[in-house]
Amino acid sequence: METIEAIKHRKSIRAYTEQPVKRQDIEQILTCASQAPSGVNSQPWHVAVLEGQTKMAITEALIAARRADEISIPDYEYYPTDWQEPYNSRRIECGRALYKALGIQRKDRESKQQAWENNYRFFGAPVGILFFINQSLNKGSWVDMGMFIQSVMIAATAKGLSTCPQASLAEYPNIVRKILNMEDQNLLICGMSLGYADPDHPVNQYQLPRESPDRFTGWFD
């Protein structure tokens, strides 16, 4: 698949088949993504690939924390505390479209809870990926991490795989670090589901709109 087509076809997939992903394919995806640029070639990315028992342990621990109403203490704030326009309207539209695709009514709290817990289940994908960055690095390296993570998704798409980047998997970083026996200096940025999309699942059918370039671009001669 050509690069532009891979970018256009990438979308966040929230339902996967049980088809396993070859380790060779994961290694090729990460090797490709490692070509992402970074300031002074610092290459700030640290990656944990989760499968089998370790993936299940993290899933169970995150769900247990959520059900116990444990306070989420992420390593950084992903979302703003005060949503402004047009971002708030887009956020609301996104949530409505997702619940509609899942057939969840607005007041159905139990179904909403199950839908949220599916984040921690990696939406049934056989592979989970977690992205970390050393706490000594500054905001520029976080920009580099964004380019690396996008490269992972594009490389996966080119290989016929699907992904879903997930900030939700970084809500309880201390739990994750404990399971992985990882030091606190490794900040958890986000997670990602990786696998083969279930083409028949309704949640994979909806598509959110994107603004055209003339809405977010200024041209200066």
pLDDT in tens, the chain (221 residues): 789 999 999 999 999 999 999 999 999 999 999 999 999 999 999 999 999 999 999 999 999 999 999 999 999 999 999 999 999 999 999 999 998 988 888 788 888 889 899 999 999 999 999 999 999 999 999 999 999 999 999 999 999 999 999 999 999 999 999 999 999 999 999 999 999 999 999 999 988 999 999 999 999 99
Exposed, middle or buried by CB within 10 Å (0-12, 13-18, 19+), for 177? buried
Domains of the chain are: 3-206 (3.40.109.10)
Dist CA 113 CA 184 (whole Å): 29
What pLDDT does residue 196 have?
98
Query: Residue 8: what are its φ and ψ, rounded to 5°?
Result: -70, -30
Place of tokens 């203490």: 73
What pLDDT does residue 112 have?
86
Dist CA 10 CA 199 (whole Å): 14
Model confidence pTM above 0.85: yes
Dist CA 154 CA 161 (whole Å): 9
